[in-house]
Structure 1
Amino acid sequence: MYIYNVTTNVDSSSHKDWVHWMQSKHIPEVLATGKFLSAKMTKVLVEEDMGGVTYSVQFTVKDKAALDRYYQEDAPRLREDAQKLFAGKAISFRTELEVLDEFFVRRPTATHHLFAYGTLLEKDVQVGVFSRPLGGLKDVLSKYKVSDFKVADRYPTLDHTGDEQDVIKGEVYALTPEELKIADQYEGDAYERIEVELGSSKKAWVYIAKK
């Protein structure tokens, strides 16, 4: 996994407008390219000799190939938008970081189970969304099949068939209440969370596309 870090010094007269634009427009547009897993925006707590206020935005990305596609397909347009709005008011430099290893603190007791069958099965996605690998157990969901319909033409969902012969293989993860809220945010408004019974007889949440 890689981190694409963008550090920006913003003129004090414009930094409030810049922060609002970053949070409400630019960062969502970067994530909407589908190249990145998550983003974190921070304020650098130093007084710059050049003045102004400095911020760092870190985008996590699965691999270098995805980052290179962002450079080719999306970056010129998004950087041009920033230049039009904040020319002479914001100076940015960019750094690529390769994640070599990660360490995590123990989490509070998990009280929810989540059945995953799509992108949340990928460790890189789990780390990008929850800041930790989830470590699930294999399980199955009966009476459902993978839908021909895809959310945003790329993300899978399920159709309820009622047929015992239809079985979805996946993994079930234990989440804290706070992590379940994060999962809701990750899946977005296109999905709804419903409770199902798995092959192990365990009750779990699963996300399916809203009808």
Structure 2
Amino acid sequence: MQKLFSYGTLQQENVQLETFGRKLNGVQDVLLGYVLGEVRITDPNVLKASGKEYHPILVHTGNDSNEVQGTIFEITDDELAQADEYEVDDYARVSAKFKSGTTAWVYADARQV
């Protein structure tokens, strides 16, 4: 199983059903060293699934006093590939550590990767 952190639309049940075909189970956690920015979405499939033109995006600061709250979901390798398909090119998947000590994948601003 893979661990994937969501701080935005992947926490929405309708997006989970559209993307993975099921509702995900997860635990709340806090990502350190990031703040939230915003990105305008133009992909019609993502707009349809999320219902939102503007999505949050993680911006790395490296300062552990910056925190982003969200949910860590356990998903399969196939579901991780589906999440990669859902996320537009503005996002890049990177590994990150959390306040709990857990390591999980996050989708952050691709311009920083």
**After superposition, where does 1:1-211 map in structure 2 within 5 Å?**
111-147=1-37, 149-152=38-41, 154-211=54-111
**TM-score, normalising length: structure 2:** 0.82
Structure 1 residue 181: deviation in Å?
0.3
Give the structure with higher Rg (CA): 1
Structure 1 residue 130: deviation in Å?
0.4
Structure 1 residue 190: deviation in Å?
2.3
Aligned sequence identity (%): 37
**TM-score, normalising length: structure 1:** 0.45
Report the RMSD for the aligned CA atoms in angstroms.
1.3
Q: What SS does the aligned partner of 1:140 have?
A: strand
Alignment length, in residue pairs?
Answer: 100
Q: Which has the higher contact order (CA 8 A, sep 6+)?
A: 2
Measured in 1, the distance between the counterparts of 2:32 and 2:6 equals 14
Runs of at least 4 residues off by over 3 Å: none
Structure 1 residue 124: deviation in Å?
1.2
Structure 1 residue 174: deviation in Å?
0.4
Q: What SS does the aligned partner of 2:107 have?
A: strand
Measured in 1, the distance between the counterparts of 2:68 and 2:2 equals 20
Q: What SS does the aligned partner of 2:55 have?
A: coil
**Unmatched tracts of structure 2, length 5 or more:** 42-52
Q: What SS does the aligned partner of 1:182 have?
A: helix
Structure 1 residue 135: deviation in Å?
1.1
